[in-house]
Amino acid sequence: MAASSIYVHIPFCEQICFYCDFNKFYIKNQPVDKYVEVLNEEMKRVISMDEKPSIETIYIGGGTPTALNEQQLKQVLDDVNTLVRNPEQVREFTVEVNPGEADRDKLKMMRAAGVNRLSIGVQSFNDKLLEKIGRGHSAQEAVETIDLAKSVGFENISIDLMFGLPEQTMEIWKDTISKTLELDVPHISAYSLKIEEKTMFYNWYRQGKIQPLPEDTEAEMYEVLVSGLHDAGYTAYEISNFSKYGMDSEHNKTYWKNNEYYGFGAGAHGYLDGTRYANIGPLPHYIKAIENGESAVKESHEVPKTEMMEEEMFMGLRMKEGVRADRFESKFQTSYYTIFPEVIHDLLERELLYDSGDSLHLTKNGKLLGNEVFEQFLLVY
Spatial CA neighbour of 291 closest among 99, 34, 73, 68: 34
Neighbours of 95 (CB within 10 A): 27
**Residue-averaged pLDDT of the chain:** 94
Which of 65-79, 93-107, 365-379 is the least confident region?
365-379
Rounded to 5 degrees, φ, ψ at 264 are -125, 145
| pLDDT for res 7 | 98
Instruction: List b or e across 275-301, with b for residues whose CB sees 16 or more CB atoms inside 10 angstroms.
Output: ebbbbbbebeebbebbeeeeebbbeee
Rounded-to-integer distance, Cα 37 and Cα 283, Å: 13
Query: What pLDDT does residue 20 have?
Result: 86
What's the confidence (pLDDT) of residue 381?
45
Predicted confidence at residue 380, as pLDDT, reads 53
Sheet holding 275-279, edge to edge: 269-272, 275-279, 297-302
β-pairing, 241-243 with 235-238?
antiparallel
Contact between 351 and 365 under an 8 Å Cβ cutoff? The reply is yes
Antiparallel, parallel or unpaired: β 92-97 and 117-123 = parallel
First to last CA, the chain: 27
187-237 pLDDT tens trace: 999 999 999 998 888 899 899 999 889 989 999 999 999 999 999 999 999
Per-residue pLDDT of 100-131, as tens digits, reads 999 999 999 999 999 999 999 999 999 999 99
DSSP annotation of 87 reads G
pTM for the whole structure = 0.94
Tell me the average pLDDT across 325-341: 95
Q: What pLDDT was estimated at residue 51?
A: 81
Name the pLDDT band for 26 (thresholds 50, 70, 90). Answer: confident
Residue 31 CB coordination number (10 Å): 12
Q: How confident is the model at residue 87 (pLDDT cuts 50, 70, 90)?
A: confident
As a whole number, mean pLDDT of residues 136-154 equals: 97
3-state helix, strand, coil in the chain (%, to 5): 45, 20, 35
Would the pLDDT of 168 be above 90?
Answer: yes
Q: Quick one: average pLDDT of 343-363?
A: 96
Query: Would you state the pLDDT for residue 24?
Result: 87
Over the range 164-174, which residues count as b (16 or more CB within 10 Å of their CB) and which as e?
bbbebeeebbe
Domains, the chain, in order of start with CATH, read 5-256 (3.20.20.70), 305-313+321-375 (1.10.10)
In this predicted structure, what is the pLDDT of residue 1? 57
